[in-house]
Amino acid sequence: MVTLEDIRAAQARIRGMVRETPMRASAGLSEAAGGPVWLKCEHEQETGAFKLRGASNAAAQLGQAAGVTTASTGNHGRALAHAARQLGIPAIICVSRLVPKNKIAAIEALGAEARVTGASQDEAFEEARRLEREEGFALIPPFDHPDVVAGQGTLGLEILGQLPEAAAIAIPLSGGGLLAGVALAAKALKPDIRIIGISMERGAAMAASLAAGHPVEVEELETLADSLGGGIGLENRLTFVLCRDLMDELILLTEDEIAEGIRFLAAEEGETVEGAAAVGAAAVLAGKLRAELGPLVLLLSGRNIDPGLHRAVMEGER
Ligand SMILES: *Cc1c(COP(=O)(O)O)cnc(C)c1O
């Protein structure tokens, strides 16, 4: 399991490998939510997403390994590539054919090999498993690993350090490493804080798994929130149980609602974010998330959106 002490140790370990990101008030979203709304601007993290926290915490604790490998819808692979380069070790990132080209190019630009294999996250993961089994690589998964959860949890410490009066944190939800880590840290410091998970309606594996009472597979569908795609793993060890036990509410969004979130954040707040990161704002704008019980923090988790896609969304074509 992961404890507050593990998360504090992670914070000390990755200091110098990650940025502390700013928290900004949003007048427009506060008005829409009926109470104060704050944006945790983690899309300004190095490599463009929070995943650098978990990847750095895991990679910094490796013993003897030929290198690191993972399967990733993009941001975790990019984060691990960056962390490996900082630590001077090789990285092979296995990605499915659904992963956008800009994310693959970004991995290669960081000096890692991007190995494109399989039609789903789970199939790409098989190649990472093989590298671990046959070539001595350390497999660092995108979410279901205690060191990764502890690393993402440093965001919970940071948020409450910046805004101790926070009453709720809205968190984009896919495999649940981010939600599990932030919830563990935040609830350890402030037991009555509300943790709200947000996913897209199309192909949300954690939502389907929670409804079934155990991890299930879902068909991977194209979505504006592509970083929220992918399965949670039928042998999920950690994040399914943590999300089940720590999440107070789960909100699902349509593609139109996510597009509106992306547009609002760019046009009104000047923040260019990817679909996964826009879900908090989207939920507020859709009337599915309020801030009447106290300050609400929306976690802007990443900025790695294809520029052409962002333009299409801004022009109302998506
Ligand atoms: C990975 C990711 C998420 C979801 O994180 P999980 O730990 O898989 O739930 C949300 N937003 C962005 C930008 C991501 O890259």
What is the token pair recorded at 223? 């979505």
* pLDDT value of residue 102: 79
248 C-beta neighbours (distance < 10 Å), count: 12
Ligand 1, residues 51, 199, 305: which to mutate, most atoms within 8 A of Cβ?
51
Name which of 131, 130, 193 is nearest 164 in CA terms. 193
**With bands split at pLDDT 50, 70 and 90, how would you rate the model's confidence at 175?**
very high
* pLDDT value of residue 146: 98
Q: Is 30 a catalytic residue?
A: no
Ligand 1, residues 50, 140, 152, 198: which to mutate, most atoms within 8 A of Cβ?
50
| pTM for the model | 0.94
In angstroms, how far is CA 309 from the centroid of its own chain? 20
What is the token pair recorded at 270? 């000047």
User: Distance from the CA of 195 to the center of ligand 1, in angstroms?
Assistant: 15
Q: Can you tell me the mean pLDDT for 167-184?
A: 98
Q: Does 51-139 match 4-50+145-314 at the fold level? A: yes
Q: Taking a C-beta distance cutoff of 8 angstroms, is the pair 235, 202 a contact? A: no
Q: Is 51 a catalytic residue?
A: yes
In angstroms, how far is CA 210 from the centroid of its own chain? 18
**With bands split at pLDDT 50, 70 and 90, how would you rate the model's confidence at 73?**
low
Q: Can you tell me the mean pLDDT for 228-256?
A: 96
Ligand 1, residues 52, 173, 174, 220: which to mutate, most atoms within 8 A of Cβ?
174
The CATH number of domain 51-139 is 3.40.50.1100: yes
Q: Can you tell me the mean pLDDT for 142-161?
A: 97
78 C-beta neighbours (distance < 10 Å), count: 28
The domain at 4-50+145-314 falls in which architecture? 3-Layer(aba) Sandwich (3.40)
Q: Taking a C-beta distance cutoff of 8 angstroms, is the pair 98, 229 a contact? A: yes
For residue 19, pLDDT beyond 80: yes
- How do beta strands 296-300 and 168-172 pair? parallel
Atom of ligand 1 nearest to the CA of 176: 9
For residue 223, pLDDT beyond 70: yes
Active-site option among 26, 40, 51, 187: 51
Integer CA distances (angstroms), 290 to 25, 193, 247, 251, 256, in order: 15, 14, 16, 12, 19
For residue 72, pLDDT beyond 90: no
**With bands split at pLDDT 50, 70 and 90, how would you rate the model's confidence at 49?**
very high
- Return the domain boundaries, the chain: 4-50+145-314, 51-139
For residue 161, pLDDT beyond 70: yes
Ligand 1 residue neighbourhood (C-beta within 6 Å): 49, 51, 75, 142-143, 172-179, 227-228, 274, 276-277, 301-302
* Alpha-carbon gap, residue 72 to 230, rounded angstroms: 9
pLDDT tens, position by position, 163-174: 999 999 999 999
Atom of ligand 1 nearest to the CA of 54: 7
